[in-house]
Amino acid sequence: MVLSMSLVVQKYGGTSVGTVDRIKDIAGRIAAVTRDNHRIVVVVSAMNHETDRLMMLAHEISAQPDARELDLLLSSGERTTIALVAMMLKELGVKAQSFTGRQVGIFTNSAHTKARIERVVADRITAALEHKFVPIVAGFQGINEQSDVTTLGRGGSDLTAIALAASLHADRCEIYTDVDGVYTADPRIVPTAKRLDCISYEEMLEMASLGAKVLQDRAVVFAANHQVRIVVKSSFANGSGTKVIKEHKGMERNAVSGVTYDRNQAKVTLVGVPDTPGIAARIFDPVAQANIIVDMIIQNIGQDAMTDVSFTVTKDDVSRAIEVMNCVAQEIHAKRVEVTRDIAKVSLVGVGMRAHSGVAAKMFVVMANEGINIMMISTSEIKISCVIEEKYVETAVELLHREFELDKAVR
């Protein structure tokens, strides 16, 4: 009888490889998997703080470092880790070999610092697996057509792992991080928050883009498109983690799966805008041109054919957004530009919303009872977000968690 051997892709983030001792720990973990006769591919990030160190060097030289050179610079971080992990495994008697983004065959477009994966040609990885090696792969990096190094943006190692799992038809992709799964809310705010056993790609995506930094959002989209089974686990503790899988009926038992929040928000308001046709395009075209991502937009009904237009951006983009709006305001004869920085977004996420009605109404009642003013609202099929004053974040998250009985969540 021939037992088919499973193939697992494991990804270890920066804290999981942050010191030589941590590297020893994960090497032991990897060695155990190989003893169980599973085939395994390991993707690693740069050691904790290493990317920051390199970024600081770059910024000592230039306020806006050249993107091609920045990619080369940052790619050193993961190269260091793969060499050290491979050495450690050999020290433990495990056959292992390191592979850079180029050696793996991660081909990307040329959008330096945020490149998109175009194809994965993992021939060397397949060959290494056939020869019973554990391939140790540098996350976050690839090469473009010119054979120049590119990087995949913040959290890009997740994308490397998932793309490689898809290309190799792996049984699953395990993402090791410093939390032991996805929770119904941030446990630092809600001590009774529960770990979810499973979550759908769509929910995970909403959570990722809403600020729960467990998984890169682009990686989740890639996983959903290629049906890669993900498990989010802690590299510091044992436990079954949270599975990120295709949505199924049982997931709709609860209306809401989790409460998330995002403090990285700011509101820009253009006051006194002449209410003429086509005015929205004249406001938001320049914003898009400046590569600023707008989240929510709201237009207040004003007087005298005048209106106020507000929108939210991340705090990083706010100063550029003000620059752009000052120009726009002059052009379209708006009165002035106002900015509010002390805001945050609180959201409910759940595929159950499709089956349960009244979720939004209940959310608004909770806020109203506490006297929390809702400044903006946006919804999708499986998400409701409210912008509120930043000081109310903890209160809102706690109340919503209790109201939707997430401390009793079992999935």
Which residue, 384, 374, 325, is CA-closest to 353?
384
User: Per-residue DSSP letters for 215-258?
Assistant: S-HHHHHHHHHHT--EEEEESSS-S--EEEE---GGGGSSS--E
For a copy of itself, give the closer residue by CB, 104 or 223: 104
CA dist 358 and 375 (Å) reads 20
Q: Does 72 contact a copy of itself by CB under 8 A?
A: yes
Residue 306 makes contact with a copy of itself by CB under 8 A: no
Q: How far is the CB of 76 from a copy of itself (least distance, A)?
A: 4
Residue 7 touches a copy of itself, criterion: CB under 8 A: no
Strands 106-108 and 117-120 turn out to be antiparallel
Q: Is 87 in the site for a copy of itself (CB under 8 A)?
A: yes
Q: By C-beta, is 79 or 154 nearer to a copy of itself?
A: 79
Give the total of residues touching a copy of itself (CB under 8 A): 36
Nearest approach in angstroms of CB 77 to a copy of itself is: 8
Minimum separation from the CB atom of position 184 to a copy of itself (A): 39
Q: With binding defined as CB under 8 A, does residue 66 bind a copy of itself?
A: yes
Contact 127, 135 (CB under 8 A): no
Specify the residue, 90 or 229, whose C-beta has the smaller distance to a copy of itself: 90
User: CA separation (Å) from 48 to 140, 181, 351?
Assistant: 14, 20, 34
215, 161 Cβ separation under 8 angstroms: no
> Which one of residues 61, 288, 290, 293 is an interface residue with a copy of itself (CB under 8 A)?
61
Element (H, E) at 393: helix 393-403
What are the backbone angles phi and psi of residue 313, rounded to the nearest 5°? -135, 170
Residue numbers 14-43 binding a copy of itself by CB under 8 A: 20, 23-24
The CA distances from residue 224 to 168, 194, 310, in Å, are 16, 24, 33
Residues 131 to 160 in contact with a copy of itself, rule: CB under 8 A: 147-149
Q: Amino acid letter at 216?
A: Q
Residue number, 150 or 216, with CB nearest to a copy of itself: 150
Q: Is 229 exposed, middle or buried (0-12, 13-18, 19+ CB in 10 A)?
A: middle
Among 10, 34, 51, 97, binds a copy of itself (CB under 8 A): 97
Distances (CA, A) of 146 to 102, 110, 125, 143, 231: 12, 9, 22, 8, 35
Residue 82 interacting with a copy of itself (CB under 8 A)? yes
- Options 90, 116, 229, 411; binder of a copy of itself; rule CB under 8 A: 90
User: Nearest approach, Cβ of 102 to a copy of itself (angstroms)?
Assistant: 8
Among positions 98, 151, 216, 269, the unique one binding a copy of itself when judged by CB under 8 A: 98
- Segment holding 313, helix H or strand E: strand 306-313
Please report the beta strands in 48-167, taking only residues with DSSP state E, as ranges in sequence order: 96-99, 106-108, 117-120, 134-138, 141-143, 149-151
Q: Checking DSSP bridges between strand 242-245 and strand 230-234, what pairing results, if any?
A: antiparallel
Rounded to a whole number of angstroms, the minimum distance from the CB of residue 39 to a copy of itself is 21
> Which residue among 25, 69, 197, 389 contacts a copy of itself (CB under 8 A)?
69
Interface with a copy of itself includes 189 (CB under 8 A)?
no
Residue from 9, 44, 70, 207 that binds a copy of itself (CB under 8 A)? Answer: 70
Cβ neighbors of 264 (< 8 A, separation 6 or more) are 211, 314, 315, 316
Tokens 């790609």, located at residue: 201
Q: Does 75 bind a copy of itself (CB under 8 A)?
A: yes
> Smallest gap, in angstroms, from Cβ of residue 98 to a copy of itself?
6
Tell me which stretch binds a copy of itself (CB under 8 A): 7-15, 30-38, 97-105, 379-387. 97-105
**Judged by CB under 8 A, does residue 58 bind a copy of itself?**
yes
Q: Which residues are near a copy of itself by CB under 8 A?
A: 20, 23-24, 54, 57-58, 60-62, 65-66, 68-70, 72-73, 75-76, 79-80, 82-84, 86-88, 90-91, 97-98, 100, 102-103, 147-149
